[in-house]
């Protein structure tokens, strides 16, 4: 499209300001801007502005009186001796050994709350060896791959902001022992960011602010990038999905994979009982017979606090962003889906660097703009036979979201130490803890020794000589 036509189009859409500095740009600046503007779908942007910016973005389409808690498979007292859980484990192990499973981390987020100046996966999280999040995940995958004697491909979704730095980190670290051919990077899509009046934000005179399209963007990014085709070629039909900020995640969990397969599910989820009424997690619910996740910000507090006839929290199932996705399901939704089969967008208020009236760069210290994001859990109502199983928080979930306070590097480090202490207690090794029940010693168990409690007990008992447990213990 020629520049004049494009300008006309943006002006009629009320977005003409993107051309404000056009005449002052070099030829390459002009062509960069035009190239970017051609990618913007102005009618989609108008619809998003109407729905999410001018209306404040609150969901008003839920009839809460119809909402009920989604059913889930509760954790038995002992998974090993429970008939249903052990047959799920057998089915899961068979699928893993048959090479049907890939791991998948969404790592395209900007991690603004943590305030770390690099991709979040590079953040060092472990208590003794200070391993990065990516190293922890790589070692979990490597350990499962060795245990089951099979290659387990790992998909890593990045964004245009962190893709190069992520790839270099893996290359510099020898892919942490993984086969580089089994690590598949791809970038997610972008959406323009707008201000409170729906105007596209200019990041510089020749660039509009484009932000990643949310973790739900992974469905279309897997299809567009060819990652799904690659999985098909390798005979993989189950994708184990997790987030980059949670080092406790049990990535290759045969119980979970088994329940997914035996249940004929297209998308399965792990739930963790909420730690307290107003915990900031999504809630697994049923609405009109469909499983869905209702964000804490959309669920009125009276529902978040509601108790059942036994005094237990009614909406207790917290979503921790751990799923198994069927490859065909991803293809159905992320391919050429239209209308109701497409994931909806949500608004997120973020700090977005931009230019001022005279083109000067401004780095805001509080949210100044709105980005449009899709959420992966919005795929749940579209999935056949979704299965939800309960997970044990201490072995599944401790995200690093904030620089301090709740869900911070310190809470995550303490949870890793508590997990190590719990596993050691299972083999008869007691450790000292402070008044908050945090071990006084720094301790760390490498995923290469064991990445779940069952394997830890087996591997520890097989050690000819048990190591002493002192400060800085690492195995």
Minimum CB distance to ligand UTP smaller for 178 or for 190: 190
| Minimum distance, C-beta of residue 270 to ligand UTP, in the bound complex (Å) | 15
Indicate the SS3 state at residue 463: coil
Among 7, 46, 113, 393, interactor with ligand UTP by CB under 6 A: 113
| Minimum distance, C-beta of residue 71 to ligand UTP, in the bound complex (Å) | 26
Among 33, 49, 103, 111, interactor with ligand UTP by CB under 6 A: 111
C-alpha distances in Å from residue 396, one per residue of 161, 205, 256, 390: 28, 45, 12, 10
**Interface of this chain with ligand UTP, residues 354 to 383, rule: CB under 6 A:** 373
Task: Render the burial of 307-346: b for 16+ CB within 10 Å, e for the rest.
Answer: eeeeeebbbbbbbbbbbbbbbebbbbbbeebeeeebbebb
Dmax (CA) for the chain in angstroms is: 77
Distance CA 244, CA 412 (A): 13
Minimum CB distance to ligand UTP smaller for 18 or for 281: 281
| Number of chain positions touching ligand UTP (CB under 6 A) | 20
Minimum CB distance to ligand UTP smaller for 204 or for 402: 402
- Is residue 107 a contact residue for ligand UTP (CB under 6 A)? yes
| Minimum distance, C-beta of residue 198 to ligand UTP, in the bound complex (Å) | 20
Minimum CB distance to ligand UTP smaller for 131 or for 401: 401
| Minimum distance, C-beta of residue 403 to ligand UTP, in the bound complex (Å) | 10
**Interface of this chain with ligand UTP, residues 182 to 221, rule: CB under 6 A:** 188, 212-215, 217
Distance CA 347, CA 244 (A): 21
Binding mask 216-255 for ligand UTP (x = CB under 6 A): -x-------------------------xxx----------
| Minimum distance, C-beta of residue 319 to ligand UTP, in the bound complex (Å) | 12
- Tell me which residue has tokens 């051609």: 38
- Which alpha helices (H) appear in 115-162, and where do they start and end? 133-148
- Is residue 112 a contact residue for ligand UTP (CB under 6 A)? yes
| Minimum distance, C-beta of residue 112 to ligand UTP, in the bound complex (Å) | 3
| Minimum distance, C-beta of residue 396 to ligand UTP, in the bound complex (Å) | 15
* From 100-108, 297-305, 337-345, 410-418, span contacting ligand UTP (CB under 6 A): 100-108
Distance CA 429, CA 57 (A): 52
Closest CA to 325 of 247, 248, 215, 188: 215
| Minimum distance, C-beta of residue 333 to ligand UTP, in the bound complex (Å) | 16
- Is residue 157 a contact residue for ligand UTP (CB under 6 A)? yes
- Is residue 419 a contact residue for ligand UTP (CB under 6 A)? no
**Interface of this chain with ligand UTP, residues 292 to 351, rule: CB under 6 A:** none
Closest CA to 154 of 180, 115, 125, 117: 180
- Mention every residue, 6+ apart, whose C-beta is less than 8 A from residue 62: 287, 294, 298
| Minimum distance, C-beta of residue 219 to ligand UTP, in the bound complex (Å) | 12
Distance CA 115, CA 412 (A): 16
Distance CA 334, CA 381 (A): 15
> Residue with the closest Cβ to ligand UTP?
109
Q: Is 367 exposed, middle or buried (0-12, 13-18, 19+ CB in 10 A)?
A: middle
Binding mask 14-53 for ligand UTP (x = CB under 6 A): ----------------------------------------
The radius of gyration of the chain from alpha carbons, rounded to an integer in Å, stands at: 24
Distance CA 275, CA 325 (A): 26
- Is residue 269 a contact residue for ligand UTP (CB under 6 A)? no
| Minimum distance, C-beta of residue 352 to ligand UTP, in the bound complex (Å) | 11
DSSP states of 386-428: --EEE--GGGT-----SSSSTTSHHHHHHHHHHHHHHHHHHTT
- Is residue 401 a contact residue for ligand UTP (CB under 6 A)? yes
| Minimum distance, C-beta of residue 180 to ligand UTP, in the bound complex (Å) | 22
Minimum CB distance to ligand UTP smaller for 49 or for 243: 243
C-alpha triplet 161, 167, 173: angle, nearest 5°: 135
The token pair that represents 264 in the structure block: 């004929």
Among 52, 106, 239, 424, interactor with ligand UTP by CB under 6 A: 106
Minimum CB distance to ligand UTP smaller for 10 or for 377: 377
- Helix or strand holding residue 242 (H, E): strand 238-243
Closest CA to 389 of 117, 136, 34, 82: 82
- Is residue 411 a contact residue for ligand UTP (CB under 6 A)? no
Distance CA 188, CA 194 (A): 19
The token pair that represents 311 in the structure block: 């005094």
Among 92, 109, 386, 447, interactor with ligand UTP by CB under 6 A: 109
| Minimum distance, C-beta of residue 420 to ligand UTP, in the bound complex (Å) | 24
Give contact residues for ligand UTP (rule: CB under 6 A).
Answer: 106-113, 157, 188, 212-215, 217, 243-245, 373, 401
């Amino acid at each position: 499209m020629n520049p004049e036509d494009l300008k006309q189009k943006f002006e009629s859409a009320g977005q003409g300001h993107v051309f404000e500095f056009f005449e002052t740009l070099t030829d390459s600046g002009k062509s960069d801007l035009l190239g970017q503007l051609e990618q913007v779908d102005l009618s989609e942007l108008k619809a998003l502005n109407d729905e999410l910016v001018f209306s404040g973005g609150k969901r008003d389409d839920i009839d809460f009186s119809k909402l009920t808690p989604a059913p889930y498979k509760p954790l038995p007292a002992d998974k090993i001796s429970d008939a249903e859980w052990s047959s799920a484990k057998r089915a899961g192990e068979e699928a893993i050994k048959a090479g049907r499973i890939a791991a998948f981390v969404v790592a395209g987020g900007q991690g603004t709350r943590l305030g770390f100046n690099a991709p979040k996966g590079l953040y060092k999280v472990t208590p003794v060896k200070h391993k990065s999040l990516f190293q922890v995940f790589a070692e979990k995958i490597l350990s499962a791959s060795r245990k089951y004697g099979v290659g387990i491909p790992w998909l890593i979704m990045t964004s245009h902001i962190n893709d190069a730095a992520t790839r270099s980190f893996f290359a510099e670290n020898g892919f942490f022992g993984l086969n580089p051919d089994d690590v598949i990077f791809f970038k997610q899509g972008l959406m323009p960011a707008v201000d409170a009046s729906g105007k596209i934000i200019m990041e510089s005179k020749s660039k509009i602010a484009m932000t990643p399209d949310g973790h739900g963007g992974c469905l279309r990014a897997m299809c567009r990038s060819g990652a799904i085709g690659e999985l098909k070629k390798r005979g993989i039909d189950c994708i184990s999905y997790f987030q980059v900020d949670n080092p406790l995640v049990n990535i290759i969990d045969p119980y979970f994979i088994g329940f997914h397969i035996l249940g004929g599910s297209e998308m399965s989820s792990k739930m963790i009982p909420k730690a307290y009424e107003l915990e900031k997690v999504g809630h697994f619910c049923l609405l009109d017979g469909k499983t869905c996740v209702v964000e804490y910000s959309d669920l009125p507090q009276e529902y978040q606090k509601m108790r059942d006839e036994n005094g237990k929290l009614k909406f207790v199932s917290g979503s921790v962003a751990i799923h198994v996705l069927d490859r065909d399901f991803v293809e159905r939704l992320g391919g050429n889906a239209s209308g109701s089969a497409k994931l909806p967008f949500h608004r997120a208020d973020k700090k977005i660097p931009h230019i001022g009236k005279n083109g000067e760069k401004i780095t805001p210290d509080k949210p100044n703009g709105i980005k449009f994001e899709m959420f992966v859990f919005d795929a749940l109502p579209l999935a056949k036979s979704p299965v939800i199983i309960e997970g044990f928080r201490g072995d599944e979930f401790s995200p690093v979201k904030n620089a301090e306070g709740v869900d911070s590097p310190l809470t995550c480090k303490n949870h890793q130490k508590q997990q190590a202490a719990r596993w050691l207690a299972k083999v008869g090794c007691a450790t000292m803890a402070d008044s908050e029940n945090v071990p006084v010693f720094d301790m760390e168990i490498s995923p290469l020794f064991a990445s779940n409690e069952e394997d830890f007990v087996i591997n520890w008992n097989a050690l000819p000589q048990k190591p002493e447990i002192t400060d800085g213990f690492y195995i």
